[in-house]
A and B are shown apart, each in its own frame.
Chain A
């Protein structure tokens, strides 16, 4: 860990390599020799710069265009009716539900990183958790849009919630669609809380450094009077742990409940018990792919390579490889059990998926989700930003196709052969989906510009000198005997 360069944030010192595999030395998670000061400057500098980089404006402009398209499409939909979509018998769940599941899936990485990786003490998560959580919230917003407008009478969307009303009408509590409303809303609420709570100390930092009065007031308002006292930090740490513990089951529950939407039915290809964990694995897979897709350009654009280092990216690529294999295992299990079951309906559904009209979608799914991630077995490839950027886009495409394959192929050929039909989306479907990317990217770019993209205080907590015991320093091996912690552990009676 040769910190050769001075801790100056803005003159871009050489990026140190921290992707080594020496088991005796933990790699540093912040490179460039940055200390506390350098971290604060580096992260706050993005927000405090008078002008964002030109590429930001270009991207923001493009996002706004797509956002406007989304607005137009939704307006058109509401004025005209759901008939403008390609949903028709037998595929009543077409693109809108595919896109809903796609976006909910994307929204799984953030909370996994901040909650589950926190419980597993994966310190590298600190470099990416803030941006990933933000992305989670924005993705869930995009997802939430679809059921809202899919119901047809958008003005009656509040019926989704169990509100007492004079007509004594209640949602169907036995329906997994209803559970979805609760699951996704809980997830959105807890994710947003988690994200905001983590932001508070960093907002206070921005407040204290604010170059203008307006910024000081605004950041100060949202910093909730944070002064960084010992008591504040103590409570913050407790709250973080509790929220992490509460958010952990949520990471699993949301996509499990989404999978129930399908698996509780009797449609072959939908009704299979492995769906909950399989959907969760797929969601994490797609979520991480989206994080990599966003952070690879973002770290370059905003000069955050010392915080989102190659090791962070490599670790994420390993998670993508792992979850990609899990998804592959689930595909295999489904096929195996379809063959094993001896149930001709199951067998038909799975063979039809692979061979009938939508075989191209199935093959795209297998290629993108199972074949492409195998690139990450090779260190050279998983530490190459171009390879990972392209591969992760493939994964995103593949995960979209997965939902398409599950939803559309099972519905096009269900129990009633007379009703079988091909499914084609309309231009409204396509433009609405493109529009949600506009919404997503607009929110994300605003986040990049106005909020600290890196959790400043958490990253400081994983600097090597915060953890002298954890083998960060390769020069002091064998000196353990003199350590406070290294005496034989005592057991509390």
Chain B
């Protein structure tokens, strides 16, 4: 049944990033330097210095999310045998391949966690309490009185966890959240994600050489089990990186929430990436029909995010159980209430209205503005998830530091993506479904 080898359609245009590399490098270097300067500048103020770990976690999770979104996108396109997306898939594969960069970017998170600046339960010296604000770490045998109210110095926690019947001190949980296990799991996830990403990237690039449609069939076959692996690892990573910032709090929905943000930020990134490539005369095959579809995906996930966020909030608000509501209460004090309200408007209402009609989705200039907005509010969402935790000084963020770290990591990230795509076609030029994608129309 297998068809003959595929050939690249004759009308494909410029599709190599290689000539662009010097310019990308210049931009990346500039962004890195500016970002580093901003970061250092904000270090001058001691109050900012305390926040650097949590802010770094936000910036790291931001790029992690984009990468995971890309990974999901690539696996999904193969799983459903999508035709329209072939022309945009290579760049997505390049983004997903940044999973190899993640362990490096993760080092400061690991260090911060080890030193007790981030995940209190995973802090190595959690039992010394005191200086790190990690006094209520579940790993702490000193606080292991069953049902004891932890950390009297922390009013938010006192209120939330006075209920008494939950037992975060349970040895199993303490072990699960402890630093070696946390680190081990994260490294395992990075390895799995890198394995998946490099498989799809490698196969797809190899197909450019041999045009063998059987590769597509094999990728389709693997996509199904790997999707399950992705679902498990992605939600567990969400639990580990973000939910465990408060070791007492739990929500079964959290993994889905994390995933929604990942995919949303990835779609926005993909749109921006193609906009930039197009400005430089590359990948002209990606036309309004494809922007339209990417825009639809982004719109869908704006709504999906809102659906998940609303369901999680409403159920916890309605149930009104102190050990759950404390998480939201913390996001309603110290100025965070404004941010919470802002998320409803900025993360849902504005992009919903802006992306609802067909008009902006088919115009790259407008859609790219929408994507930039989505990335911005998604980052706010990450801050909202991370910073109100007691360990992160609870205060509203410092734009200077955020911008600095986002630029530094972003520079590394863009450089890595460009490197992934160097020497390969930006379009999977001999994919058997490329014709579907080129001829794609939204009716």
Contacts and interface: CB of A to CB of B under 8 A. Distances in A.
Report whether chain A binds chain B. Answer: yes
A474 B166 contact: no
A264 B318 contact: yes
Interface string A249-274: 10010001000100111100001111
A487 B235 CA distance: 42
Interface string B234-271: 01000100000000001111111000000000000000
B335 interface: no
A342 B169 contact: yes
Interface in A75-125: 119, 121
B220 interface: yes
B290 to A, nearest CB: 8
Contacts of B251: 273-274, 337
B311 A486 contact: no
Q: Name the residue among B285, B320, B436 with the largest chain A CB count within 10 angstroms.
A: B436
Contacts of B414: none
Nearest to B307: A252
A469 interface: yes
A25 B308 CA distance: 38
B134 to A, nearest CB: 18
Nearest to B278: A491
Contact of A342 (B173, B213, B256): B173
Contacts of A329: 228, 231-232, 235
Given A25-B3, A273-B252, A470 B436 contact: yes
A342 B288 CA distance: 51
Q: Name the residue among A276, A342, A377 with the largest chain B CB count within 10 angstroms.
A: A342
Contacts of B25: none
Contacts of A121: 84
B316 interface: yes
B3 A477 contact: yes
B354 interface: no
Contact of B252 (A26, A237, A333, A486): A333
A26 B437 CA distance: 13
Interface residues of A, number: 58
Q: Name the residue among B254, B320, B364, B439 with the largest chain A CB count within 10 angstroms.
A: B439
Given A273-B312, A469-B439, A24 B213 contact: yes
A478 B7 contact: yes
B11 A480 contact: yes
Interface string A160-171: 000000000000
Contacts of A260: 314-315, 318
Given A272-B252, A471-B435, A489-B284, A277 B213 contact: no
B438 interface: yes
Contacts of A325: 228, 231
B9 interface: yes
A273 B257 CA distance: 11
Contacts of B81: 23
Nearest to A483: B439
B128 interface: no
B44 interface: no
A477 B170 contact: no
A489 B291 CA distance: 11
Nearest to A489: B287
A485 interface: yes
Nearest to A469: B439
B274 to A, nearest CB: 11
A396 B139 CA distance: 44
Nearest to A116: B300
B250 A340 contact: yes
Nearest to A341: B250
Contacts of B9: 478, 480-481, 486
Contact of B284 (A274, A342, A470, A488): A488
A486 B287 CA distance: 11
B3 A474 contact: yes
B176 interface: yes
Nearest to B257: A273
Nearest to A326: B231
Given A273-B311, A333-B252, A485-B438, 4 more contacts: A264-B315, A272-B252, A340-B250, A480-B9
Interface of B: 1-4, 6-7, 9-11, 13, 81, 83-84, 138, 165-170, 172-173, 176, 213, 216-217, 220, 224, 228, 231-232, 235, 239, 250-256, 278, 284-291, 296, 303, 307-308, 311-312, 314-316, 318-321, 323, 362-364, 432-433, 435-436, 438-439, 441, 443
11 contacts: A26-B436, A271-B315, A275-B311, A276-B307, A277-B256, A330-B252, A342-B138, A342-B169, A477-B4, A483-B439, A489-B288
Interface of A: 20-26, 119, 121, 237, 249, 252, 256, 260, 263-266, 271-277, 325-326, 329-330, 333-334, 337, 339-345, 377, 469-471, 474, 477-478, 480-481, 483, 485-493
Q: Top 5 closest A-B pairs, CB basis?
A: A489-B287, A469-B439, A274-B252, A273-B253, A24-B432
